[in-house]
């Protein structure tokens, strides 16, 4: 019979203990590595940018936390968008439910999701739109929550009370961080994370290719242009839910009327240069539903007669088709904020013609290194836009390389922010 020395015993029991700890660690990690995430997102379905927030965030989480189970608490209940999300994210469960003034949810399934979820994330948007939804979570749970890729400009007292309890706050532009600091909300848990639409991955190549073929739009031989009024006229297509007084409506309409021609004449100058110097076509397309009605007035009818035959129009579409078209475009020039983002996500250079009324969200373009392709419209002449577009088509590989550098920065930021969220669970 072999004797076991104290040294042997300590060695063997040490190995056994280490093995037990390792097994427990692996088991714990396995359990931990299958978290459930509740996302609140999807504010409206009349804007491909707002629609794009949701698939963008879903793709971010599926990319950097592939083991997570995702439940989407969607605010807007559009059937077409629901089908779009189901088609592209079949594993994601989609729920709907309103929250009343007492922070009570009217759908028991949402309450069950809250019990099941390990963390709640407020998706990208223009503000803390789902503040009541986060407040409901806070009433029912002490589990962490936070904000991802959201503008937090001048948060009011109610929003401050929620943000102060957030485990993470990732505004979509660095300017929001300054706004938070002004109201005493600061710390290492607050970091820039660009709008989740930068990670949109949905496409509809079949529909896009059919449209391109019918209109003889050749790959990388056409540009896309998108119009926009200074203030979105929500009162025209959502008259019962915008909260605007008659006086406010008059002010908005007067502002839009005063600026629309001055703004769009600058974009038309670049359009004319493109057609006359390259002989290639232009697709005029919308980001929001109402823009279909202003295309002719602002971008097409005033064009010189020799340019008009090169113009193609597209009606309102969903972001999957838009993404597929933008992927084929040479460059996208847009007064709207999100079409350039969708284009960038699909490898296409894009210009953002920024109007001062379009909130501070445009700062994210500078944060990501897109400053040369961002034009503050009141400080910009049409020639500057045309000249910059000319630089892009003269040296397209350089433009693509510039885009790739910024998109690598997006990748790095998203990975880091999701890693930090993962550690909270």
Domain range annotation of the chain: 33-199+410-424, 205-394
Dist. CA 307–CA 424, nearest whole Å: 56
* pLDDT score at 132: 96
**Strands (E) located in 134-280:** 145-150, 168-171, 222-226
**Strands (E) located in 251-345:** 281-284, 311-313, 331-334
The answer for residues whose C-beta is within 8 angstroms of residue 31's C-beta and 6 or more apart is: none
Partnered with residue 146 across adjacent β-strands are 121, 168
* pLDDT score at 237: 77
Dist. CA 75–CA 77, nearest whole Å: 6
Mean pLDDT (10-residue bins), the chain, 425 residues? 35 36 38 84 93 98 98 95 97 96 93 97 97 96 97 98 98 98 98 98 98 98 98 82 85 97 98 98 98 98 98 98 98 98 98 96 98 98 98 98 98 98 96
Topology classification of domain 205-394: Rossmann fold (3.40.50)
* pLDDT score at 241: 57
How large is the C-alpha radius of gyration of the chain?
A: 25
Please say whether the beta carbons of 133 and 40 come within 8 A.
Answer: yes
Residue linked to tokens 């359009």: 271
* pLDDT score at 23: 38
Which CATH number, 3.40.630.30, 3.30.56.10, 3.30.200.20, 3.40.50.2000, labels domain 33-199+410-424?
Answer: 3.40.50.2000
Dist. CA 43–CA 222, nearest whole Å: 32
Dist. CA 297–CA 69, nearest whole Å: 47
205-394: same fold as 33-199+410-424?
yes
């Amino acid at each position: 019979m072999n004797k076991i020395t104290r040294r042997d015993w300590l060695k063997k029991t040490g190995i056994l203990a280490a093995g037990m700890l390792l097994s427990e660690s692996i088991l714990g990690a396995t359990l931990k590595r299958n978290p459930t995430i509740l996302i609140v997102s999807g504010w409206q379905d009349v804007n491909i940018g707002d629609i794009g927030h949701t698939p963008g965030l879903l793709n971010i989480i599926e990319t950097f936390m592939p083991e997570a189970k995702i439940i989407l608490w969607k605010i807007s209940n559009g059937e077409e968008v629901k089908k779009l999300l189901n088609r592209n994210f079949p594993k994601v469960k989609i729920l709907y439910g309103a929250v009343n003034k007492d922070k009570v949810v009217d759908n028991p399934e949402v309450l069950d999701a809250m019990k099941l979820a390990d963390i709640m994330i407020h998706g990208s948007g223009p503000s803390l739109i789902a503040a009541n939804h986060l407040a409901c979570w806070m009433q029912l749970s002490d589990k962490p929550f936070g904000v991802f890729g959201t503008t937090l400009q001048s948060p009011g007292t109610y929003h401050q009370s929620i943000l102060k309890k957030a485990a993470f706050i990732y505004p979509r532009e660095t300017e929001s961080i300054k706004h938070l600091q002004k109201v005493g909300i600061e710390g290492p848990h607050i970091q820039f994370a660009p709008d989740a639409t930068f990670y949109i991955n949905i496409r509809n190549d079949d529909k896009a290719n059919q449209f391109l073929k019918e209109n003889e739009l050749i790959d990388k031989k056409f540009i896309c242009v998108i119009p926009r009024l200074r203030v979105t006229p929500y009162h025209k297509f959502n008259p019962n839910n915008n909260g605007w007084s008659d006086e406010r409506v008059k002010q908005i309409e007067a502002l839009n009327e005063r600026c629309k021609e001055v703004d769009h004449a600058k974009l038309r100058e670049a359009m004319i240069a493109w057609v006359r110097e390259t002989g290639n076509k232009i697709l005029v397309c919308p980001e929001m539903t109402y823009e279909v009605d202003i295309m002719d007035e602002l971008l097409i009818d005033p064009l010189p007669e020799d340019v008009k035959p090169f113009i193609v129009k597209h009606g309102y579409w969903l972001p999957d088709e838009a993404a597929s078209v933008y992927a084929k475009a040479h460059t996208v020039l847009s007064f709207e904020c999100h079409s350039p983002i969708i284009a960038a996500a699909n490898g296409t250079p894009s210009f953002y013609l920024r109007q001062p009324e379009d909130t501070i969200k445009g700062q994210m373009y500078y944060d990501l290194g897109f400053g040369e392709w961002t034009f503050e419209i009141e400080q910009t002449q049409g020639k500057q836009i045309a000249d910059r577009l000319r630089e892009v088509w003269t040296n397209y590989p350089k433009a693509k390389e510039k885009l790739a550098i910024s998109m690598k920065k997006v990748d790095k930021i998203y990975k880091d922010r999701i890693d930090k969220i993962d550690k909270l669970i």
